[in-house]
Amino acid sequence: QSVPVTFTAKGAGSVPVTFVETGLAPGTSWAVEMNDATRSSSSSTITFLEQNGTYGFSVSDVPGYASSVTSGAVTVSGTAVTETINFTAFAEDTYLQVSVQPSDALVTVNGHSTNGSEGVYVWAFLPGSYYVNATLEGYTPYSNLVVVTAGMTTELSIVLTPLSTYGYLVGTVTPATATVIASGVIVPVEDGAFNVTVAPGSYYLSVTASGYQSLVLAANVFPGQTTYVTLNLTMASNTVTLSGELSPANGSVVVNGFIAYVNATGHFQVSVLPGTYTVSVSAAGYFPLSENLTISSSVIVNFTLTKVPGSTSMRTTGNVTATGYNITVTRLTNGNGSISVTFTSQANGTLLVMIPYADVENATLAQVLSSQVYVNGVLFTDFAITVTANYTVVLTVRGLPADPTLLWKFSSPGAPSGPASGFLGLPGNLGYYLLTAIALAAIIAAALVLALKHREGRPPLPPTGDAAKGTETTAGKQPNVEDLLTDVLAPLPG
């Protein structure tokens, strides 16, 4: 006869934390791990005694069943806590079959690994959606959200992409159910830990989970080296889910810098706090779009992008690229918290300006998303700012008039300090600044000449210090720049 299992924790003030299962056949064994202790039972309850605090827990797999909760956290604050775990028996003839190449890659489903043979894995599952991940050193990690249909075998074939050069991104994440995306690369998480190889470079790690505040963290990965990160999300009283379908399916959805999980069919989802967000949608070969959404409850929104035509022109300076459609770009400059583009436009020309967020000077991502655009010094409104999954910021401007200069300001809102195109054909006041600099250089050069003539008429100064001892002599020595500047700045004799 099975009996409930209760364990006593040491210390005064302990209260019971009870896990109650439903759905298991009588006598079926199940287990819960919490606070570094694992308890198993064949009854319907498992109880821990804990002091005040917050404790993570995980529910062990039970063959032939799916559980409603696989992991989570409970908070003890002086009163008994009860957590219910619902188990459901798998439907007959409902399977997920995964094949992977190379065959020695590690495959996980919903963050849990399993055994396979020669790269082929078969699971019996309830109908529903499952995260399938595959990792192997020297290859880009793979992740996909797969829908398993009742009474059918759902097949998935995975071919990992090799990396010629790579480093290691290793760490832990709390909660274990969080989604971690490194500049567009989905990082598979197994039981709250990850260890993947990625191309060397700078990454932004987007971390999201239902019931937690989202996080973005910067990390650098170097060839052959390991970068360790610890990602801890803070619990939130209320989060909402933005989900939907994206066309094309290989695009990305970014919500104020938090990257949504997008599967191979274009279904996306991301958990955020209620609020107003800029949702950026992008895909290679398509015009990006941006939409401001106020999300107070979970919502479904679908996005369809428009293919770009052949470009008319492209110009690059540093890491900034300007691409014109019915537009010829003639000048591109970047600096002082803004980008300036001069171009010739046909009717309804469209301009795309792209810059990695890491190269944006003196502006937060929020400032970039709310930045302003001026055309010939006049505020322009027909534009969109998007952020891609690899944190490239894209400005899309439509309906541009002929032969203007465009100024994209990242800094605080306000009119440009000068006209967008001005004296000497240079953006803003640069023409005036250049002329002033030339005039100043001429004045300084003339003053230096006067200083030299003035010095030639002076008697030699008596030697001092080491020169008086014969270590160095000033006879015939040319004056240095500091001497000349002293002469220039000193008043000349009348």
Burial of 443 (0-12, 13-18, 19+ CB in 10 A): exposed
Least confident span in 57-61, 162-166, 393-397: 57-61
> pLDDT tens digits for 286-340?
999 999 999 999 999 999 999 988 888 999 999 999 999 988 999 999 987 889 9
> pLDDT tens digits for 115-149?
666 778 787 777 788 888 888 999 999 988 888 88
Domain 5-88 shares a fold with domain 95-303? yes
Residue whose structure tokens are 């937690």: 212
Q: Are 84 and 191 in contact (CB under 8 A)?
A: no
Ranges of each domain in the chain:
5-88, 95-303, 313-428, 432-489
With a threshold of 0.85, does the pTM exceed it? no
Q: Report how far residue 157's alpha carbon sits from residue 100's, in angstroms, rounded to the nearest whole number.
A: 6
Q: What angle do CA 300, 302, 307 make, to 5 degrees?
A: 165
Is the pLDDT at 32 greater than 90? The verdict is yes
Strand stretches in 365-494, DSSP E:
372-375, 378-380, 383-387, 392-400, 405-409
Residue 272 pLDDT class (50, 70, 90 cuts): very high
Specify the higher pLDDT residue, 481 or 441.
441
> Which amino acid, 300?
I
Least confident span in 45-54, 56-65, 300-309, 430-439: 430-439
Q: Report how far residue 159's alpha carbon sits from residue 402's, in angstroms, rounded to the nearest whole number.
A: 49
Mean pLDDT, rounded, of the chain: 80
Residue 396 pLDDT class (50, 70, 90 cuts): very high
382-387: average pLDDT: 91
| Residue 427 confidence (pLDDT) | 40
359-371: average pLDDT: 85
Specify the higher pLDDT residue, 299 or 112.
299
161-186: average pLDDT: 93
CATH topology (fold) of 95-303: Immunoglobulin-like (2.60.40)
Least confident span in 24-38, 254-268, 411-425: 411-425
Could you tell me the two tokens for 450? 């006067």
208-212: average pLDDT: 91
Specify the higher pLDDT residue, 82 or 468.
82
| Residue 278 confidence (pLDDT) | 92
Q: Work out the percent of the chain whose per-residue pLDDT is above 70.
A: 79
Residue 411 pLDDT class (50, 70, 90 cuts): low
The contacts found for 293-300 with CB under 8 angstroms, 24 or more apart, are: 293/242, 295/240, 295/242, 296/240, 297/240, 298/240, 298/241, 298/242, 298/243, 299/240, 299/241, 299/242, 299/243, 300/243, 300/244
Q: Report how far residue 429's alpha carbon sits from residue 423's, in angstroms, rounded to the nearest whole number.
A: 7
Is the pLDDT at 47 greater than 60? The verdict is yes
Q: Report how far residue 121's alpha carbon sits from residue 105's, in angstroms, rounded to the nearest whole number.
A: 11
Task: List CB contacts of 127: < 8 A, sequence separation 6 or more.
Answer: 91, 94, 148, 149, 150
Is the pLDDT at 469 greater than 50? The verdict is no
Could you tell me the two tokens for 367? 């400032």
3-class DSSP state of 453: helix
Q: Are 190 and 112 in contact (CB under 8 A)?
A: yes
Task: List CB contacts of 102: < 8 A, sequence separation 6 or more.
Answer: 119, 136, 139, 160
| Residue 477 confidence (pLDDT) | 35
Its CATH class, for the domain covering 5-88, is: mainly beta
Is the pLDDT at 483 greater than 60? The verdict is no
Is the pLDDT at 199 greater than 90? The verdict is yes
